[in-house]
């Protein structure tokens, strides 16, 4: 009886490992997560310098218009 359960579990695990359904969607999800992570890191590292740059540009535009 126990051998049958073990064989059944092994068969289920083999089927799970060989099953390729949904692999593409998982790959796309991982890729999206990596891109999102890269964006978050970029914004956190460059955020203050970009803010300063836009502030300088805004000041120069305001001075030119005045």
Q: What is the mean pLDDT of each run of 10 residues along the chain (66 residues)?
A: 79 81 82 95 88 93 91
Taking the C-alpha atoms of residue 30 and residue 36, their distance in angstroms, rounded to an integer, is 10
Which of 28, 9, 25 is closest to 17 using CA atoms? 9
Taking the C-alpha atoms of residue 4 and residue 7, their distance in angstroms, rounded to an integer, is 5
- Phi first, then psi, for residue 44 (nearest 5°) are -70, -35
Q: Is 20 helix (H, G, I), strand (E, B) or coil?
A: coil
pTM of the entire predicted model: 0.50
Q: Output the pLDDT for position 38.
A: 95
Taking the C-alpha atoms of residue 29 and residue 17, their distance in angstroms, rounded to an integer, is 19
């Amino acid at each position: 009886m126990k051998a049958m359960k073990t064989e059944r579990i092994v068969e289920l695990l083999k089927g799970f490992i060989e099953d390729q359904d949904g692999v593409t969607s998982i790959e796309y999800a991982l890729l999206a997560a990596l891109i999102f992570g890269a964006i978050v890191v970029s914004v956190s590292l460059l955020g203050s310098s970009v803010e300063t740059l836009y502030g300088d540009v805004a000041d120069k535009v305001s001075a030119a218009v005045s």
